[in-house]
Structure 1
Amino acid sequence: MFFYVWADWRFLVLLVTSTLVNFYLGLKIHETEEDRKRSIYLYLGVIFNVGLLLYFKYFNFFYQGFFELLNFFGVESSYNSLTILLPLGISFFTFQTLGYLIDVFNEEVEPTKDFLDFSVFVAFFPKILSGPIERAAGFIPQIQEKRVLTYNVFVDGLRQILWGLFAKIVVAENCAAIANPIFNDYQDKPGSVLLLGTFFYAIQLYADFSGYSNMAIGISKLFGIQLMRNFATPFFSTNISDFWRKWHISLTTWMLDYVFTPLSFILRRHQKKGLIFSIVITFVLVGFWHGANWTFVAYGLLHGIYFIPLVYKGKMNSSEIVAKGKQIPSLKELSKMIALFILIMLTDVFFRANSVSHALDYLKRIFSFSIVDVPNTILNTTTLVTIVLIFFFVFIEWINRERKHDFEINSYNIFIRWGSYILIFLLLLFFGRSAETFIYFQF
C-alpha cells in the first residue's frame, strides 16, 4: 500500500474500501446457509466490483456514447467529459476479488478469516499494477503457511528478473523507438515501413508485458511466493486457440472460467453456433477489458472471429508444444507459426491505434502498392541492431519453450549460465533504454 500511495494517495481509499467490502462479502457468502441470501451477497459483490470498473474506467465511454446516440437521432446535445482518474491496476485487483467471491459462492475455496491475509492477496505489490490475476486457491495458502526460502528458488527468481529486465528495457524499448514514430506519423510513409512498424510493435507489446510478468514472478519468488505463469512463448503457436492458452494466461483463464464456461453451458443446445457466440462474446469482453475504446472492442471481436474455423474443424482443444523434443520445427509448423504471427501482428494495429478509423487507414496504407518499396527511412544501424536483439530474444525463448519459464537455464553448466548472465548484463548496459512505464499500467 505504501507503493500504491506513492503513485497517488487518493487511490488508497478505493483500494482499502474494495478490500474491506470483498473480505466482508466473502465471509457472509460462506456463513449464510440460505441459497437466496447467499446469491444476494454474491450479486452485491458483482455490482460493487463491476460498478467500480464501469465508473472509473468506462463512465466517459458510455457517457460520450449516449450523447452521440442522441445526436444521431437528431437531438442536438453537447457534453463535457468528466475528469476521472483511473486507479492503478484496477482491472487486475477487481477481477481478482470478483473471482474470489464467485469461487467462495461455488464452494471452490473457503474464504480467509484473516484480514491481513486477504489484504496481501489483493495488494501484493509485485502483481497489483499489471498482474498476473491470481486465484485465491493458489495464492492465499502460500501466505498462510510458513515459507522456506531455498537457494535454488531465490536464484531462479533473480534469473527471471534479469530476463524480464532484458525483455523490457532492451527489446521492448528499442522496438518502441522504431514503432512509435511510425504510428504517430504514418500518413506519408510507404506500406513497407508501416508493415515493419506493426512488426516492431507486436514484439514491443509482447516483450513489454511478458517482461513485467517475469519480473513480478521473479520478485515474488524472493519472498517465497509463486505467482502463476502469465506467458508461455505464445508466438510459437500454430493456431489462435493455442496462442490464447499462452498469451496473458491469467486473464484468459479468468475469462474462460467465469464468462465462457457458464455462457457456453447456457447456449449448449445451439451446439457450434452457441459455442461460437460464447467465444466471440468472451473475446469482445477480453478486448473491452483493456480500455474504453472501440479499438479494443474491434481487437477482441477479431480474435473471437479467428476461432470460428477451429470450431468447425473440431480443433479447439489441440494444444501441443511446437517441435516438442526437437531443435527445429518442421516446415509445416514453421509456416503455421509465421502465418499466425502475421495475423496477430496486423490485428495489433487496432490495439495500438487511437481510433478504429485510424487503424483501418493504417492497414489500408500497408496494403497499397508501396508495400514493395524499399523502407529506406528506417534502414539504419538502430533498426539492424534491434533486429539482432530480437533474434537473440526469440532464440533464448525457443530453446526454453518446454521449460517453466523463458530463462530457466539452471540445468546448463556453470560456464553457459554465467556467460548468459554476463552477456545479458552487457546488453542491458549498452543497449538498454530508459522507460517511464509499462504498456499494461494503463489497464
Structure 2
Amino acid sequence: MVFNSLDFVVFIIPVFLLYWLIFSKSSVYQNFFLLLVSLFFYAWADWRFLILLVASTLINFYLGLKIHRTPEDRKKNIFLYIGLIFNIGLLLYFKYFNFFYEGFFEILNVFGAESSYSTLEILLPLGISFFTFQTLGYLTDVYNEEIDPSENLLEFSIFITFFPKILSGPIERAASFIPQIQEKRNLSYSVSVDGLRQILWGLFAKIVIAENCAIIVNPIFNNYENEPGSTLLVGAFFYAIQLYADFSGYSNMAIGVSKLFGIQLMRNFSTPFFSTNISDFWRKWHISLTTWMMDYVFTPLSFTLRRHQKKGLIFSIITTFVLVGFWHGANWTFVVYGLLHGIYFIPLVFSGKMNSSEIVAKGKLLPSIKEVFKMISLFLLIMLTDVFFRVDNVAMGLDYLKRVFSLSIINFPSIIIASTTIITIILIGFFILIEWCNREKKHDFEIHNYNIYLRWGFYIFIFSLILFFGKSSETFIYFQF
C-alpha cells in the first residue's frame, strides 16, 4: 500500500475521518487507534513479519525500562548490550547474513579450499533498517540518561510502528516524537492543509519526476556496454535526479500524512543539490540517517581518537560513511559509495571548513557565479558516485565510469533529442525552480504566504502535470533498505 496508490487513498480517508470524529476524545483513544491502523498498514505491506515488529517493540520497551531502573552500572551495561546484540543481530541476520556467508566461502576459494555453497532464502522485513535504528538510538539515549524511558507501552508502540514512517523513515528520535503523542492532538486546519500541500509535492516528485527519469535511466544502465560515454553521462544525471525525487518524494508524503494526524516528523531532505560542499550536502540529504550516524557513530569515535587530531578525524569520518553506505544494503557497491563520500571530506578537514554550512544566495534571487560553480561541481561528483548506488556490483560500476570517461564522451547522446527526454528535462527544470524558491523555508512547497489565487493556480498546475505526465509505480527505491 504505497502512498501513490489508489489503495492508500481508500485507506487514508476513512482513517482520517475516524481519527478526528470518533477517536479524538483523548490521547489514549487517538494512540490506540493509530496503533491498530499502523499494525494493519504494516501487515498489509508484509504480514509475515508483523510478529517480528511486535516482538521488537516489546523487547526494546522492556529493555529501556530495565536500563533506567537498574542502579548498578554493571547490570545496566548488561541490559544495554542485550539490546545492542538483539537489534544489531536482527539486521545482521535478515539483511547481511548472505553477504558475510558468501564472503566466507569466497575467501576459502581464494586460499584454495574449494567449497560449494548455496545462499539461504532469507526474506528482508520491510522497514527493518529504519525501525531498528530507532530502537538502537532509543536504548542508547536512555543509557546515557539523555531521555527517560517511556513507561507507557502504547505510546512507545506508536513511536516504533507509526505507519507514515515505518517503511522508509524518517528515522525519528524518541525525545521529539513521544512528547507529541503524550498530549491530545487537536485538528488544525493550517497544519492539515500544509500536510496536503507537502503530499502533493511529494507525489509530483515521485510519479512525475522520479518515474519519468526511470524510463530514461533503466535502458541505459541495463545496456550500458553498448552506449557511448556521453549517453552514460546522461544516464548518471537522470539517475541522480531520480534517486533524490524518489526518496525526497516519499519523505515529503510521509511527513505530510503525519501532519494530518497532528504529528510532526523531522525533515529528511533540505534541497541538498543547492549545497556548495560535501559536508553541507550531508546536512541536507537523508538528514535523519546522517544525524543518527553523527550522534551514535562519528561523535563517540572521533572523541576516542581525538589525540590523533586530523588523522583520527579523517578515520572517524570515513568509518562513519562506510557504515552509511553499508546501511543501505549488503553489497560492496554501497560500501564503495560510502567510502567515496568519506574521502570527499578530506579536503574540508585540512582546510578547516568541515562544519561550514550555509543557505546558498540567502535572501537573494540568484546565486553568484562562484556559488553556481561550486554547486555544479559538487552535483557532478555526487552524480558519478551515485552510479555505485545503481549498479549490481563494483566491477560494473567501475566499467560504467571507465566508459563515461572514454573518447566516446564526445559523441552526441542521441537520447537527448527524444521527446520523452526533452519533456523530462523541462519537468526537472520546473521541479528545481520550485525547490530553489523554497530553499529557505521549512519544506520544498511551503507557499502558504502566497495569495489564494496564486496558491490554487499552483495546485491546479501541479495536479495537471501529475495527471498528464505521471507514471504508475508499485514501490520506492528505499523500500529495499
User: Are 2:195 and 1:157 equivalent residues in the alignment?
Assistant: yes
Unaligned runs of 5+ in 1: none
For 1:58, the equivalent position in structure 2 comes to 96
SS in 2 for 1:304: helix
User: Are 2:278 and 1:240 equivalent residues in the alignment?
Assistant: yes
User: Are 2:212 and 1:194 equivalent residues in the alignment?
Assistant: no
TM-score by length of 2: 0.92
For 1:272, the equivalent position in structure 2 comes to 310
Query: By how many angstroms is 1:378 displaced?
Result: 4.5
Equivalent-residue separation in structure 2 for 1:9 and 1:335 (angstroms): 49
Deviation sequence 1:35-70 (CA, Å, 0-9, x none): 111111001000000000000000000000000000
Deviation sequence 1:93-112 (CA, Å, 0-9, x none): 00001100000001111111
Query: By how many angstroms is 1:149 displaced?
Result: 2.1
Task: Give me the identity figure in percent.
Answer: 78
Query: By how many angstroms is 1:139 displaced?
Result: 0.3
For 1:145, the equivalent position in structure 2 comes to 183
Query: By how many angstroms is 1:414 displaced?
Result: 1.1
Query: By how many angstroms is 1:8 displaced?
Result: 2.3
For 1:337, the equivalent position in structure 2 comes to 375
SS in 2 for 1:69: helix
Query: By how many angstroms is 1:148 displaced?
Result: 2.0
Task: Find the partner of 1:309 among 331, 347, 350.
Answer: 347
SS in 2 for 1:8: helix
Aligned length: 443
For 2:480, the equivalent position in structure 1 comes to 442
**Kept after mapping to 1: 8 A contact 2:228/2:403:** yes
Deviation sequence 1:77-98 (CA, Å, 0-9, x none): 0110000000000000000011
For 2:444, the equivalent position in structure 1 comes to 406
In the TM superposition, structure 1's runs of 4+ consecutive aligned residues that sit over 6 Å from their partners are none
Q: What letter is aligned with 1:405? A: H
User: Are 2:84 and 1:46 equivalent residues in the alignment?
Assistant: yes
**Kept after mapping to 1: 8 A contact 2:362/2:440:** yes
Task: Find the partner of 1:204 among 223, 242, 249.
Answer: 242
Q: What letter is aligned with 2:314? A: I
User: Are 2:130 and 1:92 equivalent residues in the alignment?
Assistant: yes
Task: Find the partner of 2:54 among 9, 13, 16.
Answer: 16
Equivalent-residue separation in structure 1 for 2:218 and 2:80 (angstroms): 44
Equivalent-residue separation in structure 1 for 2:147 and 2:124 (angstroms): 31
Q: What letter is aligned with 2:159? A: F
For 2:418, the equivalent position in structure 1 comes to 380
Where in structure 2 are the equivalents of 1:345-356 lying within 5 Å? 345-356=383-394
User: Are 2:322 and 1:287 equivalent residues in the alignment?
Assistant: no
SS in 2 for 1:125: coil
Query: By how many angstroms is 1:151 displaced?
Result: 0.9
Equivalent-residue separation in structure 1 for 2:296 and 2:331 (angstroms): 23
**Kept after mapping to 1: 8 A contact 2:321/2:342:** yes
Equivalent-residue separation in structure 2 for 1:3 and 1:177 (angstroms): 29
Query: By how many angstroms is 1:147 displaced?
Result: 1.3
Deviation sequence 1:3-27 (CA, Å, 0-9, x none): 1111222201110110011000000
Deviation sequence 1:271-291 (CA, Å, 0-9, x none): 000000000000000000000
For 1:357, the equivalent position in structure 2 comes to 395
Structure-2 change in CA distance of 1:334 and 1:378 (3 Å): closer
Deviation sequence 1:202-256 (CA, Å, 0-9, x none): 0000000000000000000000000000000000000000000000000000000
Equivalent-residue separation in structure 1 for 2:403 and 2:328 (angstroms): 26
SS in 2 for 1:126: coil
For 1:71, the equivalent position in structure 2 comes to 109
For 2:4, the equivalent position in structure 1 comes to none
